[in-house]
Amino acid sequence: MVMASEALKKYPFLIGADTYLVGLSLSNLDEFPRILELAENKIRFLLRLSKLPPNINDKKESVAVFTASLAMVSFTNNRRLIRSYGYALSRELEENLAMDSPKSYLTVASSLGMKAGYDGQRFDMALVDYLKLKGIDNDPALMLPQLPLKRGTIYLSPNVFRLMISRVFRWVVVDKMESQMAELRHAALSDRVKAAINSIMADFSKKKGLEVDVSSLSPVESLFPPCIKFWAAEMNKGVNIPHQARFLVATFLIALDMDVDEVLNYFKHTPDYDERIARYQIEDLAGERGSGKKYSVPRCDTLRTLGVCVCREGLCTHMSHPLLYYRISIEKKLKGDKNAGTDCAKSFP
């Protein structure tokens, strides 16, 4: 299949792209020095480790660079790096799509297995096809209640459809990288390729180390958001708190990388506490059981709707996510702000 050069250069994952991948693999990447160099540049550029964009000539090169970059990132075996790269790739895709006509979105979408139609103004998609999409659950704009829906068809503006494509794409590439991880771990790499990967990893960690990574710090309870403090205190008093509040506290603590026993401590005084059941539930929320799905901490707007949010002052006036509250409070504290983490503290001492 011969692809339009421009399209494939911009979207190197389109159906048929793999025709251009003759004989390239991570183990023999050093035989293609230009591809190796461009792949390294692409990863660095997209992860904002360098300001120089890779200078890719044509569609063949673009497909090879894209594939090599995924393999290199998978080889790091570092899930954070994989997720960040997936995020960066999806941002790049969204920017490219924004410069294209909406008509071209359909080709990209169908390469990702998304079925949709376009009437020149808006896109439509069967509800069941929407329900089967992966990777779209964290964007309010893509959640079903926000979308026009009639008789089993959802309607999407070009902007929303573009966002949807980029989220599905992120899921697809992250999934691809994660599933390649085990398989590539034992690949025999040349020193040149290894060095390239290691230097990306080192720079990535250094960059991330400069930012506050909440999950890598020991938890600081005094900086927890008001909702977590409030519901944890209620449980400590032996109050039987609503299910959604328990879900919030548990997912929040899990997101801080606390282990199950530490999380259980918060639930010990609830009236119906049964360690076996609680342990099972926490492990389930942490994705250590069954489906392996790790549940995310609900966003503030959801918590407000559910009546679980307890504060509308200070940082919480416009807060979007409890983890963001925590992260900002840590940053404030590090800068010496004495009021960090004290919003609404007077309402429930």
Residues in 131-170 that interact with another protein by CB under 8 A: 131-132, 134, 137, 140-141, 143-155
Q: How far apart are CA 344 and CA 349, in angstroms?
A: 9
Q: Is 114 in the site for ligand SF4 (CB under 6 A)?
A: no
C-beta of 251: minimal distance to another protein in Å? Answer: 15
46 or 340: CB nearest ligand SF4: 340
| Binder of ligand SF4 out of 177, 322, 329, 340 (CB under 6 A) | 322
C-beta of 154: minimal distance to another protein in Å? Answer: 8
Q: Which does 235 bind (CB under 5 to 8 A by kind): another protein, ligand SF4, none?
A: none
C-beta of 326: minimal distance to ligand SF4 in Å? Answer: 8
Q: Which does 128 bind (CB under 5 to 8 A by kind): ligand SF4, another protein, none?
A: another protein
| Binder of ligand SF4 out of 68, 286, 316, 330 (CB under 6 A) | 316
63 or 309: CB nearest ligand SF4: 309
C-beta of 271: minimal distance to another protein in Å? Answer: 19
Residues in 252-311 that interact with ligand SF4 by CB under 6 A: 300, 303, 309-311
Q: Which range of residues in 17-25, 43-51, 79-87, 222-230 is near ligand SF4 by CB under 6 A?
A: 222-230
Q: Which does 309 bind (CB under 5 to 8 A by kind): another protein, ligand SF4, none?
A: ligand SF4
Q: How far apart are the first and last CA of the chain?
A: 68
Q: Is 226 in the site for ligand SF4 (CB under 6 A)?
A: yes
143 or 195: CB nearest another protein: 143
Nearest to 133, CA basis, from 158, 150, 154, 118: 154
**The residue type at 55:** N
Q: How far apart are CA 299 and CA 334, in angstroms?
A: 25
Q: How far apart are CA 179 and CA 230, in angstroms?
A: 40
Is the CB of residue 166 less than 8 Å from the CB of residue 91? yes
Query: Per-residue contact track with another protein, 261 to 300, x per CB under 8 A?
Result: ------------------------------x-x-------
Q: Which does 311 bind (CB under 5 to 8 A by kind): ligand SF4, another protein, none?
A: ligand SF4
| Binder of another protein out of 7, 49, 127, 220 (CB under 8 A) | 127
Nearest to 348, CA basis, from 203, 230, 201: 230
174 or 297: CB nearest ligand SF4: 297
Q: Which residues of the shown chain bind another protein in the complex (CB under 8 A)?
A: 126-128, 131-132, 134, 137, 140-141, 143-155, 291, 293, 301-302, 305-306
Please give the residue ranges that form the binding site for ligand SF4 (CB under 6 A): 225-227, 300, 303, 309-311, 316, 319, 322, 325
